[in-house]
Structure 1
Amino acid sequence: MDLSYEKLKQRVKQLEQETRFYQNLIKQIPFSFTYTDYKEGMKLEKKRGNISPTIQSIPASSKKDTDLQLDIDLNHDVLFEKVEKFLTPIFDLVPHHIVFVDGNGIITLCNLQTAIDTGVDRDSIIGKHIRELLQLPDELIVTLQSIKKKEPIYNREVFDRFYGIINTRFLYNNDGSIKRVISTFQSLTMMKETEKLAVAGRIAAGIAHEIRNPLTTVRGYLQFLKGELPDQIVSLIDRLLIPELDRANSIITDFLSIAKPANIKMEKMIIHRFIQEDLGMLLQSEALLHNVNIHFDLDERLDNCVIKVDKSQLLQVFLNLFRNAVEAKVKKTMHVTISTKLYNNIVQIRFCDDGPGIPPTIIGHIFDPFFSTKETGTGLGLPLSRKIIELHKGTMKVESGDNGTCFLIELPLENC
C-alpha cells in the first residue's frame, strides 16, 4: 500500500510539473490564439496583452476533433528582425537590389544580389549606414532623401554608380515613427547589355545566311581545282586562300555564338581540382611557349567545394583571358596569378596579369561585341567569355591599372 501511495504521489507531482510547464509556455506566446478541443468539450483563449489564457467548457462533439485559430500581428507579436531573417533567403533569389534600413539609414537587410554588385560582404554590412554600402555622399542616396522627406519614391530613374529604377516604401511604428524603409533597385545596365547582344545577334544571323554559303562553295571549288593547277598556285591556295576562308568562317561562327550560344553540358566538379588539374595543365603548356609564369593562390575553405559547370566552355573562357594577356604583354616575362576566395556562398576567381593594363578610355567597352584594339581582332572573345559565365549563372567584371589587369569571375557554389 505504501509503495502504491508513493507512486501515486510521484505521478501527481509529475502531472503538476507538466501543467506548470504548459502554463508557462502559453504565457510566453506573444500572439493571440484560440484552441478548441471538441471531444474534450474545452476551449482555451489567449488575448493580446493578457499573460494567462482563459479556459471554458463547451458542448462536447464527435463531429470535429480540434480547431486552432491564430491572430498574429507582425508589428506587435513578432520581432521584425526575425521577419527579416525569414525573408533574406527568399530575397536572395531576386536578381535586383533589395535593402531594408531603419529611420536612421542603418541597414537591417541586404539581399545577395546587392552584396555582389556593390562588392561587400553581406553579413558585415548589416548594421552599417547605407552610405557604406553605396559609397556615395548622403545627398545622392535616394533612400535617404525618401527618409528625409518622409515620402516614398515611385519608379525614379537614378544615374549614380548604378543605372536603374528605384522604389521605396515605408513601414511605421505605432507612434508614427519609421520602422523600416524598403528600397528596391532594378538595374538597367544588364538590359542595355542584352540590347547590344540582340543587335549583334541580328547582325550575326544576316552574315551567316549571306556569307557562309558562298564561302563554303568557294572553298570547295578551290579544293577541287587544286589537282589541275600548277604547284605555285596550289601552294598559294593552301597557305593563304583556304586559311583565310577558314578564318572568315570562324568569325561567322563566333557571331553565331553571340546570337545563339551552344548548349552547355553541366557537370559537378570540385573547384580547386578543376583549377589545378584541368586549367593548370592547359595553361602551363601555353605558358612555356610564351614565357609566362603562372601562380595559383587558392582559398583553403574551397578545397572541397563543388561547382556545376561545362568544363570545356569554362576552359575556353580562361584560355581567352590568357591569350589576351599574352598579346598585350610588353615585358620579357609576364606573371599571371589565378586566385580563389569564398564569398557569400559563391566562389570568386581572379585572373590577374602584370601587363600594361587597359586604358581608362576603353575599359568600359571591352565587353562590347566587335570592339577591339587589335588589327586582326574581331572583338568577340570577351563578350563570348562573359556570355558563357552568365550561362553558368555567374558574373564577370574587370579591374585594370598601371600594375596590370584583373578579371573577376563569380560562380555560384553547388555545395560547400
Structure 2
Amino acid sequence: METHEQLKRKINDLEEEVKLYKRFIEHIPFPFSYVDHEIGKMLKKENDISTPIVERIEKNERQKPILQWKMDLQKDYPFEQVEQFLAPIFDLVSHHIVFVDADGIITLCNLQAANDVGVNRDEIIGKHIRELLNIPDEQIMTLKTLRTKQPLYNCEVLDRYYGIINTRILYNEDGSIKRVISMFQSLNQMKEAEKLAIAGRIAAGIAHEIRNPLTTVRGYLQFLKEQLPEHIVTLIEQLLIPELDRANDIITDFLNIAKPNEMKVEWIGINEFIQNDLDLLLRSEALLHNVELSYDLDEKLQHHGVYIDKNQLMQVFINLLRNAIEAKTGKSLNVHIQTALHNNLVQIYVRDNGPGIPPTIIHHIFDPFFSTKQTGTGLGLSLSRKIIELHKGSMRVQSEFGRGTCFIIELPIYLKK
C-alpha cells in the first residue's frame, strides 16, 4: 500500500513529465499534427502558435495513429543543418554543386567540385568562392547572380573550366538572399572525348595506310643487306631500319591512345607499390641519368589501395620520369613522389625541379602529337592520362616556368577486403 507521500511524489513526477513533453513540443520549430484514434485525441501545432492544441476526436481502436509533419525546410529548419543533410547526397553527383551566402562565402561544396579544382573540400568551406575558382570575380557566374539577383538558366561558361552553369536563389523571409545555389556541368571531358574519337579515326587510317608499307620496306631492306656494299649496309642498320621502327612505335602508341589494351586490374596497396615495385624500376633509370629520387608516403594510406593494372601504372611513372629527364638543364635533377589521402581519393604528386613548362603551352601538353622536343612523338603524356582515366582517375599538371613541374594523379581509393 503506497503512502500519501509516495503518491504525492508520483503525481509530481507525472506533472513534471507532462510539462517536459509540453515544453519540448513548444520548441519544435515547425507545425505538425498527431492523431491517436485509440485514445480519441489529436495534438497539433500551428505556425504562429507556440502552445500545442489538444482536440477530442472519435475513438477507433482499429485505426493506426497518424503523424504528419508540415515542415518548410527554408522557414522552419536551420538551413545549415539542411546543408549538412544534403552534402553526402551531393557528393554522389558528378557535376559541381556549390552553395554560397549573400557575401559569396561557400557554405556547401560537393566532392566533385573540390576534386576537379584540386582543393580540400573541408578547408574551402567558409572561404570566398573566388578562392575555389581562382578566376576574376567578373567571370564568376555565381557572383553575377548575387549582384543582379537573377538566376541563370543553362548559361554557357567559356572560362578555363568550360561548361554549362545553372544558378538558383533562396530568399529569407525579409527578401534578402539566403543562398545562391550553383550547379556546373563541366564539358572539358567531352572535349577530350571528342579529341580521342578523332584520334581513333586517324589512328585506324594510319595503321591501315602506313604500317603495312613500313613492314614491307623493312623486310626488303633486311633482304637486300647481303647484296649491297658495306657502307650501304651500315646506313640501313644504323639509320633506315631504326627510323622505320621508330615510325612503327609511334603508330603503336597512337593506337594505344585510341584503343588501349585490355586491363588486368588488381587491388594493390599504393604505398607498397611505390616502395617496392616502382622504386626498383625507377631507381635504375635515375642512376643512369644522375637523378635523385625521394618519397613522402602518407601513413594514412597504409591499408588503402587502388584497383589498377600494375604494368600500365608503371608505364605512366616511367613516362613522367623520362619527361623530366629529357627536359632537365645543367643543374642536378630531383624527382619527388608524394602520396596523400584526399576526399576519398589517393593523390600522387610527381614533382621535379626542372625548367618548368611555359604558360603558353601548358594547356596543350596532353594533346596527342604535341611536343617541344625535336625527337619526341608527343604521345607519352597523352597515353599516360588515358591510362589514368581508364582507371576512373584524373591527371593534371601544375608548373611554374623556371621552377619545376608537378603532375598530380588522382585515383579512387579502396580499403583492403
CA distance in 2, matches of 1:136, 1:222: 57
Contact 1:266 1:310 survives alignment (8 Å):
yes
Structure 1 stretch displaced more, 257-266 or 67-76: 257-266
- Give 2:68's aligned residue: 69
| Cα distance change on mapping 1:322 and 1:35 into 2, 3 Å | same
Which residue is equivalent to 2:80?
Answer: 81
CA distance in structure 2 between the partners assigned to 1:81 and 1:8 by the alignment: 46
Mean CA deviation greater in 148-157 or 270-279: 148-157
Q: Secondary structure at the match of 1:283?
A: helix
Distance, in Å, in 1 between the alignment partners of 2:301 and 2:63 is 55
Output the amino acid matched with 1:171: L
- The aligned counterpart of 2:358 is 359
CA contact (8 A) 1:291 1:332 kept: no
Q: 1:51 to 1:262 in 2, by over 3 A?
A: farther
**Helix, strand or coil at the partner of 2:414:** coil
Indicate if the aligned counterparts of 1:369 and 1:383 stay in contact, CA closer than 8 A.
yes
Map 1:162-241; keep pairs closer than 5 Å.
162-215=161-214
Q: Post-superposition shift, 1:367? A: 0.5
1:332/1:150 Cα in 2 relative to 1: closer, same or farther (>3 Å)?
Answer: closer
Displacement of 1:123 in angstroms is 1.9
**Are the equivalent residues in 2 in contact too, given 1:170–1:181 (CA < 8 A)?**
yes
Q: 2 CA distance for matches of 1:9 and 1:312? A: 81
1:12-59 CA-partner distances (Å, limit 9, x unpaired): 666555544443433332222222233343332222233333333333
Match of 1:316 in 2: 315
SS in 1 for 2:334: strand
The residue number in structure 2 matching 1:92 is 91
- For the aligned residue pairs, the C-alpha RMSD in angstroms reads 3.3
Question: Is 1:280 matched up with 2:300?
Answer: no
Aligned mates of 1:394, 1:32 — CA distance in 2: 47
Output the amino acid matched with 2:92.
L
Alpha-carbon distance in 1 for matches of 2:233, 2:13:
103
> Is contact 1:97–1:114 with CA below 8 Å preserved after alignment?
yes
SS of the residue corresponding to residue 51 of structure 2 reads coil
Q: Is the 8 A contact 1:30 1:78 kept in 2?
A: yes
Q: Which shows bigger deviation, 11-20 or 350-359?
A: 11-20
Give the Cα–Cα distance (whole angstroms) in 2 for the partners of residues 102 and 34 of structure 1. Answer: 33
For this pair of structures, how many residues does the alignment match? 414
For 2:114 and 2:31, the matched residues in 1 are separated by 38
Q: Do 1:352 and 1:406's aligned partners in 2 also have CA atoms closer than 8 Å? A: yes
Structure 1 Cα separation of the partners of residues 250 and 385 of structure 2: 17
In structure 2, give the amino acid aligned to 1:412: P
Q: Which amino acid aligns with 1:402?
A: G
Please list the CA deviations of residues 180-199 of structure 1 after superposition, one character each: whole Å capped at 9, or x if unmatched: 11122333333322222221
After superposition, the C-alpha distances for 1:84-121 in whole angstroms (9 at most, x for unaligned) are: 11222222233333221122222211222332333333
DSSP-derived class of the 1:157 partner: strand
SS class of match (1:120): coil
The 3-state SS of whatever aligns with 1:398 is strand
Deviation at 1:163, TM superposition (A): 2.8
Cα displacement (A) at 1:298: 2.3
Aligned to 2:35: 36
Distance 2:208 2:8 in 1: 94
Deviates more, 1:60-69 or 1:241-250: 241-250
Which residue number corresponds to residue 378 of structure 1? 377
Deviation at 1:166? 2.7
Q: CA separation in 1, counterparts of 2:325 and 2:152?
A: 49
Match of 2:335 in 1: 336
Which whole-Å deviations, capped at 9, do the CAs of 1:320-366 have from their partners, x for residues lacking one?
A: 10111122223374221111233333322111122232333332211
1:45 counterpart residue number: 44
Change (3 A) 1:42 1:102: same
The one-letter code of the counterpart of 1:325 is A
Give the distance between the partners of 1:134 and 1:9, measured in 2 at CA.
67
Find the counterpart in structure 2 of residue 256 from structure 1: 255
What is the CA-CA distance between 1:275 and the residue it aligns to?
1.4
Give the secondary structure class of the aligned counterpart of 2:326. Answer: helix
CA distance in 2, matches of 1:75, 1:214: 70
Quick one: distance in 1 between partners of 2:233 and 2:6? 110
Could you list the per-position Cα deviations for residues 364-400 of structure 1 after superposition, in whole angstroms to 9, with x for gaps in the alignment? 2111011123333221110111111222222212223
Q: Which amino acid aligns with 2:414?
A: E
Equivalents in 2 of 1:388, 1:404: separation in Å? 24
The residue number in structure 1 matching 2:393 is 394
Aligned twin of 1:409: 409
SS in 2 for 1:131: helix
The DSSP-based 3-state class of the residue aligned with 2:396 is strand
The separation in 2 between residues aligned to 1:312 and 1:18, in whole angstroms, is 68
Residues 185 and 69 of structure 1: is their aligned pair in 2 closer, same or farther, counting only changes over 3 Å? same
Partner Cα distance (2:68, 2:2) in 1 = 46
Q: Which moved more, 1:213-222 or 1:203-212?
A: 213-222
Indicate the larger mover: 235-244 or 249-258.
Answer: 235-244
Change (3 A) 1:155 1:18: same
Q: CA 1:269/1:19 → structure 2, altered by over 3 Å: closer, same or farther? A: farther
- TM (norm. structure 1) is 0.86
Alignment CA distance shift 1:310-1:99 (3 Å): same
Which is further off, 186-195 or 172-181?
186-195
Give the conservation status (yes or no) of the 8 Å contact 1:331–1:355: no
Gaps (5+ residues) in structure 2?
Answer: none
CA 1:267–1:21: 2 relative to 1, 3 Å:
farther
In the superposition, the TM-score normalised over structure 2's length comes to 0.86
Identity %: 63
Write the deviation string for residues 50-74 of structure 1: whole angstroms up to 9, x where unpaired. 3333333333335432222221101
